[in-house]
Amino acid sequence: MNITGKLFTITNLETFVASYVKTNGRPTEGFAHLGKTRVHLATDLPNGQFSGSFIPSMSFSIDSNDRGDFSFAIPSSLASSRGQVIAFRTTMMPHPVPGFPPIRILDPLYRSKPFRFSDVSTQEQQTVQKIFIAQLTTPDDQGISQTKLNLTLTPIRKNLELDSLKATILSSRVNVHATKSGGDLKFSAFVRGSTSDDLGRVIDVKAGEIDIDLPGPDCIVGLCVDEGQIEEQIRKGLSRLSSELSKDLRTAVKKRLPGVGDLASISVWRCRFVQTGTRTIKLPITNQAFELPIMSVVPDIAIGVLENFRADLY
């Protein structure tokens, strides 16, 4: 069984959309070959569910050639399983330990709808699926502002009856600090594009390691603070935030691309932390003023559409 595709990059969005609509999904202009790209074919092995991990744990991977061509040969034993094609943008970052090779960073450019391998006909196996991808840049003022983040966290603070809950957007992450009954909870939240098989989920906000510092013996503090409950609720709150942000991004794409937006697979190929303002604070006693940056998280989206007005890869 073969899964074959060809990736294109949309070079002029307006020209491409006009050509796509005019030719009934067979565009002739506004795009070029995407070039070498990492492509994963995720599977729902071993238990019939996709893993949910950023890099699919049970998957095939390949780099497309310079013209965007890729192909997977799937064993017949996987006929009853499901697959999902995910194309990634690849960048490299220096390793934090000197002397070690750089670290490869993958960000999703395109996610297909999941499909069952047994549903792919012989004719479809012989067809090269053309995928057109546009990497868009979101205006800085349309990102996730500090104000919006604060409003989102308010219900979490109330539900957990926390004394305080503060989230601060920094240059590469979101720092979260909560207090309850004399205890401190600290963690960093990381924002990146989702690789979920649920295409309605476009962005993920996930907590890193959560550090809970409780005063006094656990047998006493445990009466006031349930560590497990706090951690669980924080993660659930971030999951709800991810869903809300994903919905906003999908709505924006549909408005920008009428007639095409409903067919597009949407991913976040980059998250930028940008300064959108400043605030002034004064130190006590000295009354000395300092200006601190106000940051926002700006998700840049990628849209992918198939040839022939198709919403499904197969």
Q: What are the tens digits of pLDDT across the range 283-297?
A: 787 788 888 888 999
Task: Identify whether residues 114 and 208 lie together within a single domain.
Answer: no
Which segment of 10-19, 62-71, 243-252, 272-281 scores lowest on mean pLDDT?
Answer: 243-252
CB 50 within 8 A of CB 84: yes
What's this model's pTM, rounded to 2 decimal places? 0.84
pLDDT in tens, 179-203: 877 778 788 888 888 888 988 888 8
**Residue 4, strand partner residues:** 71
Q: Does residue 255 sit within a domain?
A: no
Helix 227-256 to helix 146-159 angle, to the nearest 10 degrees? 140
- Which of 8, 310, 298 lies closest to 134, judged by CA? 8
Whether residue 262 lies inside any domain: the answer is: no
Mean pLDDT of 222-251: 68
Residue 263 lies in a domain: no
Residue of 15, 59, 5 whose CA lies nearest to 37: 5
Residues 109, 197 within the same domain: no
The per-residue pLDDT of the chain, averaged, comes to: 84
Q: b vs e for 203-224, b when ≥16 Cβ sit within 10 Å of the residue's Cβ?
A: bbbebeebebebeeeeeebeee
pLDDT tier, 23 (very low <50, low <70, confident <90, very high otherwise): very high
Q: 147 and 279, same structural domain?
A: yes
Range of the domain at 171: 141-243+272-298
pLDDT at 70: 96
Residue 97 lies in a domain: yes
Determine phi and psi for 44, rounding to 5 degrees: -95, 20
Q: In terms of domains, do 112 and 128 share one?
A: yes
Beta bridge partners of 292: 279
Q: How many domains does the chain have?
A: 2
| 18 and 116 together in one domain | yes
Binned at pLDDT 50, 70 and 90, residue 239 comes out as: confident
pLDDT of res. 222: 44
Are residue 135 and residue 204 in the same domain, yes or no?
Answer: no
Q: Give the Cα separation of 124 and 112 in Å (integer).
A: 15
The identity of residue 264, as a single letter, is A
Instruction: Report percent pLDDT > 90 for the chain.
Output: 33
Question: Are residues 114 and 13 part of one domain?
Answer: yes
> Do 168 and 47 belong together in one domain?
no
Lowest model confidence (mean pLDDT) among 80-84, 135-139, 140-144, 232-236? 232-236
- Do 281 and 177 lie in a common domain? yes
Examine the domain organization and report whether 76 and 217 are in the same domain.
no
Same domain, 133 and 147: no
Q: Is there a single domain that holds both residue 36 and residue 108?
A: yes
Q: How far apart are CA 126 and CA 208, in angstroms?
A: 44
